[in-house]
């Protein structure tokens, strides 16, 4: 029988995309999983189920320049801001933050 299950990393990316209401992603050649556009600013979001590789958000920032106002790397556990200005937080924390913003409006 063929395995038709969706891998957990893809499910997490999808959940973040839905929670954030992101409209698109960035690929050139490294991808950022979600991009949120607020007025003329961009927020790049990369979801990692393991590891904390920041190549994708850094490349997104380089290509987007001043428009990239915020970079998020969502992981399973870690929470900090690295030296490149990328905010690293647990996926669950981000989804709860987005959810609480929706309920307070």
* pLDDT at residue 53, rounded to an integer: 80
* pLDDT at residue 58, rounded to an integer: 87
CA 79 – CA 76 distance, rounded (Å)? 9
* pLDDT at residue 99, rounded to an integer: 67
49 is a domain residue: yes
* pLDDT at residue 96, rounded to an integer: 85
We report the CATH number of the domain holding residue 19 as 3.40.1350
Domain hosting residue 84, numbered range: 8-103
2 is a domain residue: no
3 is a domain residue: no
Q: How many domains does the chain have?
A: 1
CA 83 – CA 13 distance, rounded (Å)? 24
1 is a domain residue: no
* pLDDT at residue 17, rounded to an integer: 81
Task: Spell out, as residue ranges, where the chain has pLDDT lower than 50.
Answer: 105
* pLDDT at residue 59, rounded to an integer: 87
Sheet with 80-81, strands from edge to edge, namely: 24-27, 31-38, 41-47, 68-75, 87-90, 80-81
30 is a domain residue: yes
What's the pTM value of the predicted model, to 2 decimals? Answer: 0.77
């Amino acid at each position: 029988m063929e395995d038709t299950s969706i891998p957990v990393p893809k499910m997490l990316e999808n959940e973040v995309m839905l929670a954030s209401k992101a409209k698109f992603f960035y690929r050139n050649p490294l991808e950022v999983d979600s991009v949120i556009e607020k007025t003329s600013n961009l927020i790049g979001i990369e979801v990692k189920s393991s590891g904390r590789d920041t190549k994708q958000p850094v490349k997104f920032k380089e290509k987007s320049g001043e428009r990239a106002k915020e970079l998020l790397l969502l992981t399973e556990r870690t929470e900090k801001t690295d030296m490149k200005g990328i905010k690293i937080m647990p996926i669950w924390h981000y989804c709860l933050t987005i959810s609480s913003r929706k309920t307070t409006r």
